[in-house]
Chain A
Amino acid sequence: MDKLVKSEDEAMLADNARGFLDEAAPVRALRDLRDAGRTHDPALWRRICDMGWAGVLIPEDAGGADMGHAAAGVLAHEMGRTLACTPFLSSAVIAATILRRIGGERAKSAMAAIAAGELTHALAIDEAHKFAPEATAMTAERHGNGFRLSGKKCFVVDGGFADRLLVLARTGEEGLTLFDLPADRAGITRTAQGMIDSRDAARIAFENVEATGDDVLGQVGGAMTALKPGLEAGQAALAAEMSGLAAGAFDMTVGYLKDRKQFGQPIGSFQALQHRAAHLWCEIEVTASAILNAGRVLDTDPNEATLAVSLAKARATSTAQLAVMEGVQMHGGIGMTDEYDMGFYMKRARVGSEWLGDYGYHAEQVAALRGM
């Protein structure tokens, strides 16, 4: 396996991404979007697709750059640092990984459309207030040559604007089946959720939605074959995003410790705060190892990546939460104001913690794989 050090290419990718995002998608951009009452910035996504990021996991013959999961993590980390508001995880990571696993000409053209920024996808999985794909209750009854889907999904991230929905439903005795549907198919109703992180998520109702065999991704009853790698790719990239978020909040905090004066000196000279900051730095460093490792394992041994991915998501969740809590505390009153950016980090950390499995979900995965 490649070493746990960023390669030169990865380091360059990170530098370029940072330069671009600082200019094109600072936290200010998310704030402006929120103030305008929007949850998606098509112009930003267009620019990102033009740079090839949407094709990071897509093969070259489908118009992608095929850079791998560690590289996707590098990009997600940088996007997390500035809270860039994009469908990168939903479309370029999760949907792309699923379609790639499915293979074939149709999947190839769908991937090409993702890479080119012509289509966005969202993953409709959750039905209750915790991530539990195996507990899916939404039904896809066989009907004539096809299926009829009925049920409700919630917390469909980027589901308010996505062109297509990847929908997990239960097909009678056969088990879980994954459908790929246009979001405007008859019987689908989308309701925007007013999310605390100002990002997009929707509640989606399916009422006797007609689907054909062509809408099925992979085998009927065999959703997990392609969904599992897609989820793991998404979890790893989300962990990377959250590590970037933690780093962004941490940098703001250390900057503030150096600037803000009380008792005639920078507050960063007080040992109580130095130790809190140093501890947080240690946690961030340890989490960074788990994130890079998850990317490396997904790139070299994708069928055995569950432990590495769940470790990364668990660590990223706890570290991001610590970073924003300590961030607000060490800023004092100003950290609580909407005018200051720290609150955006805190709210995104909370949403990221829940999405695709919370700390408890992933820690249990680790425990099971470690025989505990």
Chain B
Amino acid sequence: MQDDDRLNRFRSEIRAWLEENCPAEMRDGRITDDAICWGGKNWEFSSDAQRSWLERAAARGLTVPRWPAEYGGAGLSRAEEKIFLEEMERINARPPLKSFGISMLGPAMLQFGTPEQKRHYLPQIARGEIRWCQGYSEPGAGSDLASVQTRGEDMGDHWLVNGQKIWTSYADKADWIFALIRTDREAPKHKGISFLLIDMDDPGVTTRPIRLISGASPFCETFFDNVKVPKDRIVGEANRGWDVAKYLLTHEREMISSGGTGLSGGRALGAVMAQMAGEPSAQDPVLRAAAIRCEVDALATGLTIERYKDMAEAGKGVGNASAMLKYMGTELNKRRHELIMSACGSAALEWDGPVGNRAADWLRTKANSIEGGTSEVMLTILARRVLGLPGA
């Protein structure tokens, strides 16, 4: 009861705060890449509203609601964070900031970083000052990520890094990269990797954009040519980077999976069906049946995300659960966008046509079951680690 009172008070506070601080232009529920602020040194704000929304949210710790206040967060409990998100959804607010620093590096640094590193890097992420990208995949190391070959030679006070990453999302826009670098070539493959932090402005770092099927070009090849990385720019111990990498992946997978059920994604299909009410697709019983089935699965998947968070909070081990959520959430999201395309019919076949850029969104979801570990890799993880089935 006392808890309820406290949470109700928190709700009124946050509601009042949002009322006062979230600019009207930021209340259109848009979550596409062009609508949301990703931050970084080179970020060009699309409007004054976008800038002040970021600044106000960051000042209140609400770009990273659950991080401790000393690192730029608001120190919210999960129940409070849920209320914050509900209140955001109520007014259709865009998130003030989105970044790989928030969803990937931050959680790993909170777990593995030194106190100095946390104090230095985390507030910059929270305020949207530094934008990070993820240097995991290489041409020869995709699903078999632990076979990365980009190498870092120990030169005493620094590592000398040479090699190539690929599929590095936003490498051309990022300020820094966190990368898996082989620092011991003799050790077994999981035991010779370090998790290094590299400034994209350092001499020897270059990027080359790659065009996607959606026409956008959000990811790159990233090259390291005799890049000097000082010894303190490492998270965790040397050659123990795989532990950090795996931990980060669980957060990345949760982030990707929630795309299928999260704030706006979960309502997208119903909204499109409603929008198409007068159109022929709304009368198509086959489409309607598939849409309803998708809705049933989306609601249950959303509850599962809740349940797993509740379990984690109750201290019940949910190791490898992120693989399940990643697999189910992304496959669901792909299904949903197929249905959205069907509901829109030929109206969705133009780039930026009468129903917006549905085609680009649809194409983008195809990557959900690849990035962060493919669906097949998720199923193998579950089969081995949860079901205890034997290796081949």
Contacts and interface: CB of A to CB of B under 8 A. Distances in A.
B327 interface: yes
A5 B293 contact: no
Contacts of B314: 3, 5
Contacts, number: 119
A269 B391 CA distance: 5
A364 B289 CA distance: 9
B155 interface: no
Contacts of A254: 387-389
A11 to B, nearest CB: 10
Contacts of B316: 5
A254 B270 CA distance: 37
Interface stretch (A22-30, A211-219, A278-286, A332-340): A278-286
Interface in B296-340: 296-297, 299-301, 303-304, 306-307, 310-311, 313-314, 316, 324, 327-328
A4 B296 contact: no
B324 A285 contact: yes
Given A269-B390, A366-B296, A278 B383 contact: yes
A350 B49 CA distance: 57
Nearest to A307: B299
Given A5-B310, A275-B380, A314 B296 contact: yes
Interface residues of A, number: 38
A258 interface: yes
A289 B307 contact: yes
B376 interface: yes
A268 B390 contact: yes
Nearest to B382: A278
Given A258-B390, A364-B292, A4 B379 contact: no
A20 interface: no
A370 interface: yes
Contacts of B324: 281-282, 285
A186 interface: no
B295 interface: yes
B24 interface: no
Contacts of B379: 274-275, 278-279
A314 B295 CA distance: 11
Given A4-B310, A275-B379, A279-B379, A311 B296 contact: yes
A112 B314 CA distance: 37
B150 to A, nearest CB: 29
B62 to A, nearest CB: 24
Given A4-B303, A289-B303, A266 B295 contact: no
Contacts of A4: 303, 306-307, 310-311
Nearest to A275: B379
B307 A5 contact: yes
B383 A315 contact: no
Contact of B300 (A5, A281, A311): A311
Contact of B295 (A258, A287, A370): A370
Nearest to B271: A371
A257 B389 contact: yes
A372 interface: yes
A269 B392 CA distance: 5
Contacts of A262: none
Interface in A246-304: 254, 257-258, 265-266, 268-271, 273-275, 277-279, 281-282, 285-290, 292-293
A254 B386 CA distance: 11
Interface string A360-372: 0001101100111
Nearest to B385: A278
B291 interface: yes
B389 to A, nearest CB: 4
Given A282-B324, A371-B270, A3 B389 contact: no
Interface string B269-307: 010011000000000000010011101110111011011
B53 to A, nearest CB: 30
Given A275-B376, A282-B327, A258 B303 contact: no
Given A288-B304, A370-B270, 7 more contacts: A3-B310, A4-B307, A4-B311, A286-B300, A286-B303, A370-B295, A370-B299
What are the 5 closest A-B residue pairs judged by CB atoms, nearest first?
Answer: A274-B383, A4-B307, A278-B382, A289-B303, A289-B304
Interface of A: 3-5, 254, 257-258, 265-266, 268-271, 273-275, 277-279, 281-282, 285-290, 292-293, 311, 314-315, 363-364, 366-367, 370-372
Interface of B: 270, 273-274, 288, 291-293, 295-297, 299-301, 303-304, 306-307, 310-311, 313-314, 316, 324, 327-328, 376, 378-380, 382-384, 386-392
29 contacts: A3-B314, A4-B310, A5-B310, A5-B311, A5-B314, A254-B387, A257-B389, A265-B390, A265-B392, A269-B389, A270-B392, A273-B389, A274-B380, A275-B380, A278-B386, A281-B382, A281-B387, A286-B297, A289-B307, A292-B307, A315-B300, A366-B296, A367-B292, A370-B270, A370-B295, A370-B299, A371-B270, A372-B270, A372-B273
